[in-house]
Structure 1
Amino acid sequence: MKITSIKSHVLRYELEKELGYSQQYYKHRTAHLVEVQTDEGITGWGECFGPGNIALANKFIVEKVIQPLVIGEDPLNKEYIWQKVYNLLRDSGQKGMPIQALSGVDIALWDILGKKTNTPLYQLVGGKCNNEVPVYGYGMMLQKKSVDELIALFKEESKQIKSKNFKAMKMKVGLGPNQDLKLVRAVRDSVGKDFKLMVDANHAYNLKDALYIGKGLDELDIYWFEEPVAPEDYDGYRELKQKISTSIAGGEAEFTKYGWNKLISNKCIDIAQPEVCGLGGITEYLKVAALAQANFIPVINHVWGSAVSIAVNLHLLTAQPDMPGGLFPSKSMLEFDTTEKNIFITDLPNEEFSILDQVKNNNGFASVTDNVGIGINPDEDFIKEFEVNE
């Protein structure tokens, strides 16, 4: 079997309202799918992490840089292809967009392997460790409103997320230390003290402000404090981890086993959040997960994107053993977007695929299907309707 072409599809549509996080606000939702075709008629699908115009830049890398390197290769030789591409890009892209682009291609190769062998992805990466996976909802995105207006919105949204049977929820912060703590206190009061609540700063703070907020979060029994400082600030992560009791989570902006080795060896995090669509794909994700396990760090994947990303992560978490392993081991959770209806999740797949229905009907859990490969195939008419041709 040979790779005959690699196509890149950037999808976009306008949101009903502008949403944001600490670094920016956005009015459009985007997704970047990768389609790898073979001479046996088997097509694999993957996804690249990266919103907005970043997706357009990654599209160029996929089609104009990576594709010429792998045309004619056997798609089942995933490790060889990964190393070939990485080594040839090494001088220009050890992190960032080149690795995001490689991630989508690599995921598509695993999908091809599953279809070629008539095997679901979870069986290819180790088999079933979990019959079902707990799901947490992330919402409460920032908007250009006053703190008091956001408090009212966040309190209502948090109640809605809880009512849908999610096992936990995550909110955004990044307005400023005092305003952020007011927001978190309001949501904590709304959902009650016994419900898991996580706080995501998207690296909004310097160390001093992160310490101030972290000590406030300690009093509110927050499950984790995500990306409190810049991803390059290993010293800041380590000091914050030492000085507050709330677990420090991070890693969505880290790439490959090399970057993850530094993050872990510097004792920066309590919870690892690898982004499979960004760090190098499934081939590299498995090595990062092994690094985390070897250091007794729980893995709770970062998930952002379309139904393709969610399907891939559901397989990976199905095959993931409880960590760190002991009398009361922790079980990973699947992250799921609960903001306004995301048609790249609900309407993209040809197959029946509804995490929301599963969460509602199964008391907060979702289960993988035995469909081969990643388990879903995008509707090509849907792709044509929302594809950006720039």
Structure 2
Amino acid sequence: MKIVKIQSHVLQYDLPEPLGYSQQYYAKRSAHLVEVTTDEGITGWGECFGPGNVALANKAIVERVIQPLILGMDPMDRDVIWHKVYNLLRDHGQKGMPMQALSGVDIALWDIAGKVAGLPIHKLIGGAHRDHVTVYGYGMMLRPDETADSLAARFVDEAAEIKEMGFAATKMKVGLGPKPDVKLAEAVRRGVGDDFRFMVDANHCYTTSDAFYVGRALQDLDAYWFEEPIAPEDHDGYRELRAGLDINISGGEAEFNRWGWRQILENRGLDIAQPEVCALGGISEYLRVLALCHAHFTPVTNHVWGSDIAVAVNLQLLAAMPPMPGGLHPWEPMLEFDTTHNHFRDDLLEDPLDIAGQVKTTNGTVTIPDKPGIGVTPNTDFISEFEIT
């Protein structure tokens, strides 16, 4: 079997209303899918992290840089392919967009391997430790036309709605500044009540001192984790926050490959690791990062962003994740699910995952797809409708 073509599909549409997080507002939803075709007619699908113009730049890397390096190679030799591409691109960036582009290709190769074997990816990894995964719904995003007070009122209602939808927990965004952000967190706590788990995602917007201010308030609100409170490069700051706050410090979505993750984990700055498989180097590298996390006794809850391709891949990985540290009632990972408007989550697949529908009827959990590969197939007519060049 040989690779004969690699094609990127960047999808985009206008959102009904702009959404935001601490770094920016955006009015378009994007997704970047990768399609790897073989001479035996087996096609694999993957996804690259990164929206908008980043996706267009990654499309060029996938098609014009990576494709020429691996055309004609056996797609089953995915580890050989991974290291060939990484080694030849090392001089041009060991992190960032080259790794995002490689991630989508690697995921597609795993999809092909599963289809060749007739097995879901979790079987290729070593089997499923669980046949269902708990899901948390994130929402409560910023809006460019709303004040802190109007956002707080919205967050109360939206948090209550996500709880009512059946999700086991919820996550909010912050980014207005330390004091208004605390008010937003207080609003979410009011919305979900005292006994419901909620998390706070800062997208690295604070200084260390401001993160301590917000973190202490989140402790009092019994928030479960404080995600990316400061810049991902500030390893010392993460260690200080973890040592000084009684709330889980999480992060890692902006880190790449095993070497970057080794530095984070040896620094002991995270209570919960959040690797992003569509960015850090694909499934091949994710498994090495997962092993490093568990070697440092750091539990993992994957970061998930993008289309239902990314969701399906993460379901496979969460199924195959060993319990850490084990026991009758071990710490369990959760699936992150975006509850905001997303055609690429709801309408992309020939057979939709229907995460929201499953959550509503199963007490906040979803089952693991058991079809070969990543377990899902995108609708090519839908891709054609939303693809941009």
Same-fold call, TM cutoff 0.5: yes
After superposition, give the CA deviation of every residue in 1:98-149 in whole Å (9 maximum; x if it has no partner): 0000000000000000011111111111201001100000101111210110
SS at match of 2:278: coil
SS at match of 1:90: helix
Following superposition, the deviation at residue 325 of structure 1 comes to 2.4
Within-5 A mapping of 1:133-212: 133-144=133-144, 145-212=146-213
Q: What residue number does 1:257 align with?
A: 258
Within-5 A mapping of 1:71-86: 71-86=71-86
SS at match of 2:264: helix
Instruction: Write the distance in 2 (CA, Å) between the matches of 1:352 and 1:176.
Output: 38
Instruction: Write the distance in 1 (CA, Å) between the matches of 2:117 and 2:191.
Output: 49
Q: Is the 8 A contact 1:297 1:324 kept in 2?
A: no
Q: Which amino acid aligns with 1:120?
A: P
Following superposition, the deviation at residue 326 of structure 1 comes to 4.1
2:373 aligned with 1:373: yes
Instruction: Write the distance in 2 (CA, Å) between the matches of 1:35 and 1:101.
Output: 12
Following superposition, the deviation at residue 170 of structure 1 comes to 0.2
2:225 aligned with 1:215: no
TM-score, normalised to structure 2, is 0.99
- Per mean C-alpha deviation after superposition, the further-off stretch among 179-188 and 368-377 is 368-377
SS at match of 1:277: helix
After superposition, give the CA deviation of every residue in 1:63-98 in whole Å (9 maximum; x if it has no partner): 000000000010000110000000000011100000
Instruction: Write the distance in 1 (CA, Å) between the matches of 2:112 and 2:376.
Output: 12
Q: What residue number does 1:247 align with?
A: 248
Instruction: Write the distance in 2 (CA, Å) between the matches of 1:139 and 1:334.
Output: 14
- Per mean C-alpha deviation after superposition, the further-off stretch among 127-136 and 317-326 is 317-326
Instruction: Write the distance in 1 (CA, Å) between the matches of 2:124 and 2:253.
Output: 24
Q: Which amino acid aligns with 1:61?
A: I
Following superposition, the deviation at residue 3 of structure 1 comes to 0.3
Q: Which amino acid aligns with 1:99?
A: M
Q: Which amino acid aligns with 2:267?
A: N
SS at match of 2:277: coil
Q: Is the 8 A contact 2:312 2:369 kept in 1?
A: no
Q: Which amino acid aligns with 2:55?
A: A
Q: Which amino acid aligns with 1:291?
A: L
Q: What residue number does 2:387 align with?
A: 387
Q: Which amino acid aligns with 1:114?
A: G
After superposition, give the CA deviation of every residue in 1:315-368 in whole Å (9 maximum; x if it has no partner): 11011122232454210000001012x110111011242111110111100001
Instruction: Write the distance in 2 (CA, Å) between the matches of 1:324 and 1:177.
Output: 35
Following superposition, the deviation at residue 29 of structure 1 comes to 0.1
Q: What residue number does 2:124 align with?
A: 124
Identity %: 61
Instruction: Write the distance in 2 (CA, Å) between the matches of 1:187 and 1:362.
Output: 24
Within-5 A mapping of 1:307-386: 307-326=308-327, 328-340=329-341, 342-386=342-386
SS at match of 2:199: strand
Q: Which amino acid aligns with 1:344?
A: F
Q: What residue number does 1:28 align with?
A: 28
2:315 aligned with 1:295: no
Q: What residue number does 2:112 align with?
A: 112
Instruction: Write the distance in 2 (CA, Å) between the matches of 1:275 and 1:250.
Output: 10
Q: Which amino acid aligns with 2:357?
A: D
Within-5 A mapping of 1:266-285: 266-285=267-286
SS at match of 2:322: coil
SS at match of 2:8: strand
Following superposition, the deviation at residue 193 of structure 1 comes to 1.4
Q: What residue number does 1:46 align with?
A: 46
- Per mean C-alpha deviation after superposition, the further-off stretch among 344-353 and 297-306 is 344-353
SS at match of 1:32: strand
Instruction: Write the distance in 2 (CA, Å) between the matches of 1:326 and 1:131.
Output: 17
Instruction: Write the distance in 2 (CA, Å) between the matches of 1:58 and 1:255.
Output: 15
Instruction: Write the distance in 1 (CA, Å) between the matches of 2:76 and 2:22.
Output: 40
Instruction: Write the distance in 2 (CA, Å) between the matches of 1:77 and 1:363.
Output: 40
- Per mean C-alpha deviation after superposition, the further-off stretch among 316-325 and 368-377 is 316-325
Instruction: Write the distance in 2 (CA, Å) between the matches of 1:157 and 1:257.
Output: 37
Instruction: Write the distance in 2 (CA, Å) between the matches of 1:377 and 1:315.
Output: 14
Flag structure 1 segments of 5+ consecutive residues without an equivalent.
none
After superposition, give the CA deviation of every residue in 1:359-379 in whole Å (9 maximum; x if it has no partner): 011110000121110011111
Q: Is the 8 A contact 1:303 1:336 kept in 2?
A: yes
Q: Is the 8 A contact 2:158 2:191 kept in 1?
A: no
Q: Is the 8 A contact 1:111 1:373 kept in 2?
A: yes
Cα RMSD over matched residues? Answer: 0.8
After superposition, give the CA deviation of every residue in 1:16-50 in whole Å (9 maximum; x if it has no partner): 00000000000000000000000000000000000
Q: What residue number does 1:19 align with?
A: 19
Q: What residue number does 2:226 align with?
A: 225
